[in-house]
Structure 1
Amino acid sequence: MNLNALIDFLLVATHSGLGKASRASGVSKATLSRRISDLEEQLGVRLIERSARGLKLTEAGEMLVSRAEGPLSEVAEAMNAAKEGVLTPRGRLRVAAPILFSQLAMGRIGAEFCALYPQVMIDVVAEDRMVDLVEEKFDVAIRINPSPDSNLVGRCFAKDRLVVVAAPAIAKPMPGAVRPVAGIVTSSFQPTHWTLDGGQLVLEPIPTLQFSSLLMVRDAAVAGGGVALIPQSIAWNQLARGELVQWGTVTGVEPALWVLHTSRRLAAPKVRAFVEFMCARYPDMSLVLNG
């Protein structure tokens, strides 16, 4: 297949016509039309319907655009980098990250990363849902305990712990039978027991306060509203100041944060730089002092 013909086809498709594509590229309309015809002949399908009202992509044409547009732009980026003899991270870097992590850390992370790589413009979107990196044009995603996905690769850069905390005025139950406690929970709370430190203490949270944000859960615990199960990384300041007391760690659960990118794409310099940066920023994999 003639790569130039494919590039010219994408150019015409992007500009929705030969005239605009010609003006944008400096290639004559006759040349563009001939190359598209050659490409259609090679593939054995019609890619563009031509009429007096203009050009319209066929179903095959739309499919070719959707499959070829991303890879070709990355090939062009890689070729430009090789031509220039540099692999400097540059361009827009779109990052999807969980809302809580974004609120606590991504502002500083973004500023520090751009200070190191001034040719990168970082765009962080706080999302708890599972974004589609390809369809939604994200370069990387930060996820907590991601499920295996053959389309994604990446590295774990930090780990957290889930701890049960309460204000100092609230007495901690003695070990023994399951102990009911006034629970401050999130909106996604499901009835369950909190098993601490390998079963030494088992709590049954009875919801008295419910919030959509873990930061609100933490603040309600500081105010004495009840007992809360929260990540240690968002409570260590309050624990250090004595505003909260840690009753124990929930066993068998260890939130791990991963930075991921799609394996079907060439890893651009900006993506590789961001992955390495995130891992270097948390050398001991602890969120507590590095958030």
Structure 2
Amino acid sequence: MRLPDLEAWAIFAAVAEHNSFSAAADAIGLSKATVSKAITRLEEQIGQSLFHRTSRRLALTEAGKPLAAHAARILAEAQAAEEAARDALSAPTGRVRLAAPMSFGVRNVAPLLAEFLAAHPGIEIDLHLSDARVDIVAEGFDVALRIGDLPDSSLRGRRLCDIRTHLVAAPAYLAAHGTPTHPSELARHRVLGYSNVLAPWRFQHADGSDVAIRPQGPLIANSGEALIPTLIAGLGIARLPGFIVGPHIGSGAVVTILPDWSAAAIGLHLLTPPSALRPARVEALIAFLSGRLRDPCAEADQPARAT
């Protein structure tokens, strides 16, 4: 049996990450010639070109793109194995790259990190906040928090808790346009769309009946926070997670509508790359977040309802 050229695969992962032979060589402490030879050797072994090369540009070929993800996993698992052996003899150290949704990350994740870092002085957190759905493997994240349904994938995931959503409007909007008494009536209302809570909207009544609608409106955004000014100004109805809209419900700036119809809760998930082998610093953060982010999802707001 011929063993794979693991060094060449690791070098390929570095070149794909840095999109440069020179930058990869600097990052991994090898000469550019050594890096170039490893890529050539790997291309000869698999019988395909991995990069398009010009004097000014380096780009992955169509064959190279999926192989780069495999190479990244090979490199990550090898690094994790070495780090796990070191971590067994000492306290966890090093950097953990964590991705989280913008609003939830600012409100619910960032306030926890001081406690974690105080308990683990050797660990550094690289926190990336974005409502865009990141590619955990390709972008090199160790842990990601994601809200919403998860497509089938090779990622390892666990559901931490449910997050309630609220259908809300400003009193001024309801005074001008009337208060819906059934989800089907939302079709004639102005609806503000939070694209992270995907259409169609599904509602279930206490009697067990189920309704799905596709609302339309003047504004759609991938950030729930971006809808708040338009919502409070009385220009539409929105369905938003409690961690975004809860304070505005509590202040009376908006009220909940259709109280007898519940929307399905959306899940908060913790995701990691597919390998089960993780450094101790990553395991420490996973354990911490898994414990701390179970209770915060139970909103403390007492929703004001339209009358």
Q: Summarize the Cα distance change of 1:126–1:242 in structure 2 as closer, same or farther, 3 Å threshold.
A: same
**1:186 matched to 2:189:** no
* Residue number in structure 2 paired with 1:256: 267
Indicate the larger mover: 178-187 or 261-270: 178-187
Q: What is the SS of the residue equivalent to 1:225? A: coil
Q: What TM-score comes out, normalization by structure 2 length?
A: 0.63
Q: What is the SS of the residue equivalent to 2:161? A: strand
The Cα offsets for residues 4-56 of structure 1, whole Å up to 9 and x where unpaired, read as x9559967998979xx89xx69xxxxxx9xxx9xx99xx899xxxxxxxxxxx
Q: What TM-score comes out, normalization by structure 1 length?
A: 0.66
* Residue number in structure 1 paired with 2:137: 134
The Cα offsets for residues 107-142 of structure 1, whole Å up to 9 and x where unpaired, read as 324444323322222122234444332222111222
Q: What is the SS of the residue equivalent to 2:146? A: strand
Let me know the Cα RMSD of the aligned residues: 5.0
Structure 1 CA distance, aligned partners of 2:199 and 2:224?
17
Alignment of 1:134-283 (within 5 A): 134-169=137-172, 170-171=174-175, 173=179, 175=181, 178-180=184-186, 182-186=189-193, 188=195, 195=203, 197-198=205-206, 209-212=218-221, 213-247=223-257, 248=259, 251-264=262-275, 266-283=277-294
Structure 2 CA distance, aligned partners of 1:179 and 1:68?
52
Structure 2 CA distance, aligned partners of 1:96 and 1:66?
18
**1:95 matched to 2:104:** no
Any conservation in 2 of the 1:159–1:285 contact (CA below 8 Å)?
Answer: no
Any conservation in 2 of the 1:184–1:220 contact (CA below 8 Å)?
Answer: no
| Aligned-pair identity (%) | 26
Q: Which amino acid aligns with 2:251?
A: R
Structure 1: which 5+ residue stretches go unaligned? Answer: 26-31, 46-58
Any conservation in 2 of the 1:134–1:262 contact (CA below 8 Å)?
Answer: yes
The Cα offsets for residues 188-208 of structure 1, whole Å up to 9 and x where unpaired, read as 599867746448998989755
Instruction: Give 1:234 deviation, angstroms.
Output: 1.4
Any conservation in 1 of the 2:194–2:224 contact (CA below 8 Å)?
Answer: no
* Residue number in structure 2 paired with 1:55: none
Structure 2 CA distance, aligned partners of 1:101 and 1:177?
27
Q: Which structure has greater strand proportion?
A: 1
Structure 1 CA distance, aligned partners of 2:98 and 2:293?
18
Q: What is the SS of the residue equivalent to 1:102? A: helix
Structure 2 CA distance, aligned partners of 1:229 and 1:186?
8
Any conservation in 1 of the 2:166–2:239 contact (CA below 8 Å)?
Answer: yes
Q: Which amino acid aligns with 2:185?
A: R
Q: Summarize the Cα distance change of 1:7–1:243 in structure 2 as closer, same or farther, 3 Å threshold.
A: same
**1:118 matched to 2:128:** no
Any conservation in 1 of the 2:163–2:266 contact (CA below 8 Å)?
Answer: yes
Rg larger in structure:
1
Alignment of 1:45-60 (within 5 A): none
Aligned match for 1:104, one of 93, 104, 107: 107
Structure 1 CA distance, aligned partners of 2:150 and 2:116?
27
Q: Which amino acid aligns with 2:219?
A: Q
Instruction: Give 1:185 deviation, angstroms.
Output: 0.9
Structure 2 CA distance, aligned partners of 1:177 and 1:148?
27
Any conservation in 2 of the 1:167–1:222 contact (CA below 8 Å)?
Answer: yes
Instruction: Give 1:285 deviation, angstroms.
Output: 6.1
Any conservation in 1 of the 2:72–2:138 contact (CA below 8 Å)?
Answer: no
Q: Summarize the Cα distance change of 1:231–1:89 in structure 2 as closer, same or farther, 3 Å threshold.
A: same
Q: Summarize the Cα distance change of 1:98–1:246 in structure 2 as closer, same or farther, 3 Å threshold.
A: same
